Amino acid sequence: MKRVVVTGMGMINALGHDKESSFKAICEGECGIDMITIFDASQHSVQIAGEVKGFDPETVMHPKEVKKADRFIHFGLKAAQEAMEDAGLNADIDKDRFGISAAAGIGGLAAIEASSIVLETKGPRRISPFFIPSALVNMLGGFVSIEHGLKGPNLSSVTACAAGTHGISEAAKTIMTGGADQMLVVAAESAICGVGIGGFAAMKALSTRNEEPKKASRPFDADRTGFVMGEGAAALVLEEYESAVARGARIYAELIGFGESGDANHITTPAPGGEGAARAMKAAMKMAGQPKVDYINAHGTSTKYNDWYETMATKATFGSVENCPPISSTKGQTGHCLGAAGGIEAVVSIMAMRDSIIPPTINYETPDLDCDLDIVPNVARYAELNVVMSNSFGFGGTNGVVIFKKI
């Protein structure tokens, strides 16, 4: 099969509006989590999130067009613009052979909430004609493909918190089987709204550490009490290797393996012992040729069972604690960006490899003896990284893993 490489990247999250500022802040252990300002959360048990602040959607869309797209699409357009520019593409690119693989876990939840309120308070005739196109997950790919004139396959992954990672593997499959020469992966999410926060809080999935927002997300720490919602987007230009070399592209990394699995266990709780996650990790390792992995960006949500079972899955994949590579979760810095998380964390993993630095797992204060991996606590670590892995596991028992190699 054809080789697939990464030639462009973009990112926006609670720590920055571009990949370089975001990554720098992540490695410095900064935290983008704070009190919610997007809506009035005073009546909610959870009042904290990782919001993208100071972002003007008119920088990516004409002012008259902004209302036609939900906030998650605005973020996706921003990340895609950065990735496409970063890839250094020229006018000679065959856009009939350039596709898009979009991803989101929920899509336009805020638009759905707002339109439901309009329906109940003002009646059906007052619902905006832009409501449906603004909220559909696949409209992320639709808006981005129109913006850049991409006429190849237009795909979407909607697999909860694994969506961004599945968007990468779907794009890679398309290139590997000859369906396209280039694919733009865009993973985006913005679900910080009343029904989003309220819904996850009702499940007892979110941390209620409102008095200490900067310390609320604490992956692998014994005192973790749940995840903190984040928002943002990431984009990656994937390209067939020979095509990239022929045009003299700067190549960040090669995608050498991916794995996917289903838990078939529970709608929200991972399979016992991380068995499903381990199968995805092992499948990615097998496809990659069993390389020596130098770093894993964990799914690491800061929930009891995810962190516990991901630890078990990692040990099952690599055989023992001693054989496991360093692993860290950057959700302490960004919050959990749901369907965008896999895209953001893939970009973080590749940049970590580029800069030979492992981002820290912040807020690690009380060791959990059941999470006994080398989690790079609190402070980044410089290390030569040649192969990196990124994990994503979602509700419904859907798992995705990708492995990148330095070229």
Would you please indicate which residues are annotated as catalytic (active-site) residues? 161, 299, 336
Bridge partners, residue 189, by sequence: 232
- Cα–Cα distance measured from residue 346 to residue 295, given in angstroms and rounded to the nearest whole number: 12
Radius of gyration from C-alpha coordinates of the chain = 20
Q: Which residue has the tokens 């237009």?
A: 154
227 three-class SS = strand
Distance CA 383, CA 396 (A): 35
DSSP letters spanning 3-30: -EEEEEEEEEBTTBSSHHHHHHHHHTT-
β-strand 182-189 against 232-240: which pairing, if any? antiparallel
**Strand-by-strand arrangement of the 253-262 sheet:** 154-157, 98-103, 182-189, 232-240, 4-12, 253-262, 398-405, 387-394, 295-297, 327-328
- Residues 92 and 89: their CA atoms lie apart, in Å, by 8
Burial class (CB in 10 A: 0-12, 13-18, 19+), 278: buried
DSSP at 36: -
394: Cα within 13 Å, side-chain hemisphere: 28
Please count the residues of the chain: 407
Euclidean distance between CA atoms 137 and 154, whole angstroms: 12
Q: Which two tokens stand for residue 121?
A: 């308070």
Helix (H, G, I), strand (E, B) or coil at 224: coil
